């Protein structure tokens, strides 16, 4: 319970919605008014018990609710800012039938508000503990008409199909056929989709047998479990402190790259200066991933930065990189006295100077020609679709799909 000097839940909900509005006002699409209203109604603290009330209503705070034997998060209640973003992408309307894949309770409660008395919400999770927890939390707020089922999200929930909307709240590396089959034609799927190692919350509309993107935003989620689980390959350069993350089908000479890390670094400035809140990475990183051979991600811990081993764009997260044999290059940055930061490239290995320049140049091209260009168009086709039937663009092949990522002319 809040003390006399602390704001109560109602005040914190109003503060939360205002904070999300402010965060999105300058750079992103505004939050759907219906989503705002639902967030003002549903008590998030019920779904994240045991944490301070103020933390429950921190707009950027995701709460881990279960970890595996290795301490890796396998279930969480997403940050309110991400929830608001994805539900706005989903464009839920009263009367809709909605399937949520990956349960936590809070998102399902918001969906129930959005669909109204004539709609229906089904929430599925592969983990029985997560299912039981979601049921218990929903019952605690009197939300007893959400169907929470234990099911492998790879196969959807056919008993409730077809759905007008499907939202996936775990990172997926592919879009299985069941999701398309259980979605009405013209319906919308929102999924945190892993594309070349990068995760974007993509809003897709079903158009016949294909999914066509209507926009995407940067996000991060726990990985999908069950039949659809697909882990990336990690190549250690210094234990768990520095490593490369490779996507399906990529290979790297781990021993040579570990040696390269110990060689003197080469730096190349790009001349591209970005502001502290500029959402450039959503499009820039995906453009790099779909136009450069050997694209991957470098992760360096704060300890690695303190030891001087690596200086990525940010510690602990994936920074865009490329590899060539025993050489690798990755993006870094330098603070500017006038504010913001200049993007730069650091490289290690026998061909460091050449690879640093190769990686720096597309950043310059982006800053000069593509900074305000339209975002990518992402179209998902069934696996087996002949090349002749695919649009022009970068093709990402997965077991279930052939995803084409294309970039409109900069104009």
pLDDT on residue 188: 98
Structural domain ending residue among the three candidates 179, 207, 228? 228
pLDDT on residue 7: 85
pLDDT on residue 255: 96
pLDDT on residue 313: 84
| Residues above pLDDT 70, as percent of the chain | 97
* Mean pLDDT of the region 375-402: 96
Q: Tell whether 214 and 298 lie within a shared domain.
A: no
Better pLDDT: 317 or 152: 152
Structural domain ending residue among the three candidates 196, 228, 260? 228
Domain that holds residue 219: 9-228
pLDDT on residue 167: 98
Q: Tell whether 106 and 253 lie within a shared domain.
A: no
Report the distance separating Cα 232 and Cα 171, nearest Å: 12
The pTM of the full predicted model, rounded to 2 decimals, is: 0.94
With cut-offs at 50, 70 and 90, classify the pLDDT of residue 26: low
| Residues above pLDDT 90, as percent of the chain | 79
Q: What is the CATH number of the domain that holds 119?
A: 3.40.50.150
* Mean pLDDT of the region 89-95: 98
Asked if residue 161 belongs to a domain, the reply is: yes
With cut-offs at 50, 70 and 90, classify the pLDDT of residue 341: confident
Q: Does 406 qualify as catalytic in the annotation? A: no
With cut-offs at 50, 70 and 90, classify the pLDDT of residue 384: very high
Dump pLDDT digits (tens) for 95-148: 999 999 999 999 999 999 999 999 999 999 999 999 999 999 999 999 999 999
pLDDT on residue 401: 98
pLDDT on residue 75: 87
- Among 3-12, 83-92, 217-226, top mean pLDDT goes to 83-92
Asked if residue 401 belongs to a domain, the reply is: no
Kindly tell me if the per-residue pLDDT of 3 is higher than 60: no
Q: Tell whether 120 and 66 lie within a shared domain.
A: yes
Q: Tell whether 181 and 251 lie within a shared domain.
A: no
Dump pLDDT digits (tens) for 265-283: 999 999 998 876 665 677 8
Q: Tell whether 255 and 326 lie within a shared domain.
A: yes
Q: Tell whether 267 and 246 lie within a shared domain.
A: yes
Q: Which of 61, 75, 76, 78 is catalytic?
A: 78
Which residues are CB-contacts of 267 (< 8 A; sequence separation ≥ 6)?
A: 332, 344, 345, 346, 347, 356
Q: Tell whether 172 and 248 lie within a shared domain.
A: no
Count the domains in the chain. 2
Dump pLDDT digits (tens) for 345-363: 999 999 999 999 999 999 9
Kindly tell me if the per-residue pLDDT of 305 is higher than 90: yes
């Amino acid at each position: 319970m809040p003390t006399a000097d602390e704001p109560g839940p109602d005040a914190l909900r109003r503060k939360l919605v205002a904070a999300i509005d402010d965060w999105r006002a300058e750079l992103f699409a505004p939050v759907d008014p219906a989503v705002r209203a639902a967030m003002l109604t549903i008590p998030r603290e019920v779904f994240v018990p045991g944490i301070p009330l103020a933390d429950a209503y921190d707009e950027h705070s995701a709460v881990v609710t279960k970890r595996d034997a290795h301490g890796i998060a396998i279930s969480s209640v997403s940050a309110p800012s991400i929830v608001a973003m994805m539900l706005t992408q989903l464009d839920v309307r009263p009367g809709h039938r909605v399937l949520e894949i990956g349960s936590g309770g809070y998102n399902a409660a918001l969906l129930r508000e959005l669909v109204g008395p004539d709609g229906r919400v089904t929430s599925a999770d592969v983990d029985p503990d997560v299912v039981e927890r979601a049921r218990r939390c929903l019952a605690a707020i009197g939300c007893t008409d959400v169907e929470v089922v234990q099911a492998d999200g790879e196969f959807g929930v056919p008993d409730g199909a077809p759905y007008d909307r499907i939202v996936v709240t775990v990172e997926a590396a592919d879009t299985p056929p069941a999701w398309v089959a259980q979605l009405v034609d013209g319906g919308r799927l929102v999924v945190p989709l892993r594309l070349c190692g990068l995760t974007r919350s993509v809003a897709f509309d079903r158009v016949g047998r294909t999914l066509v993107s209507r926009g995407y935003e940067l996000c991060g989620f726990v990985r999908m479990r069950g039949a659809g689980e697909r882990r990336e390959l990690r190549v250690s350069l210094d234990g768990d402190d520095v490593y490369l993350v490779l996507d399906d089908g990529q290979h790297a000479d781990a021993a040579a790259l570990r040696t390269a890390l110990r060689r003197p670094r080469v730096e190349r400035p790009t001349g591209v200066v970005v502001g502290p809140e500029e959402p450039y990475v959503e499009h820039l990183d995906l453009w790099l991933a779909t136009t450069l051979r050997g694209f991957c991600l470098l992760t360096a811990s704060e300890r690695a930065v303190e030891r001087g081993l690596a200086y990525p764009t940010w510690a602990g997260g994936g920074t865009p990189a490329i590899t060539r044999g025993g050489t690798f290059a990755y993006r870094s940055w330098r603070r500017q006295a006038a504010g913001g930061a200049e993007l730069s490239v650091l490289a290690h290995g026998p061909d460091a100077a050449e690879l640093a320049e190769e990686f720096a140049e597309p950043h310059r091209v982006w800053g000069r020609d593509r900074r305000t260009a339209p975002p990518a168009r992402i179209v998902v086709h069934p696996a087996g679709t002949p090349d002749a039937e695919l649009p022009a663009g970068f093709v990402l092949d997965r077991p279930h799909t052939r995803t084409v990522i294309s970039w409109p002319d900069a104009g």
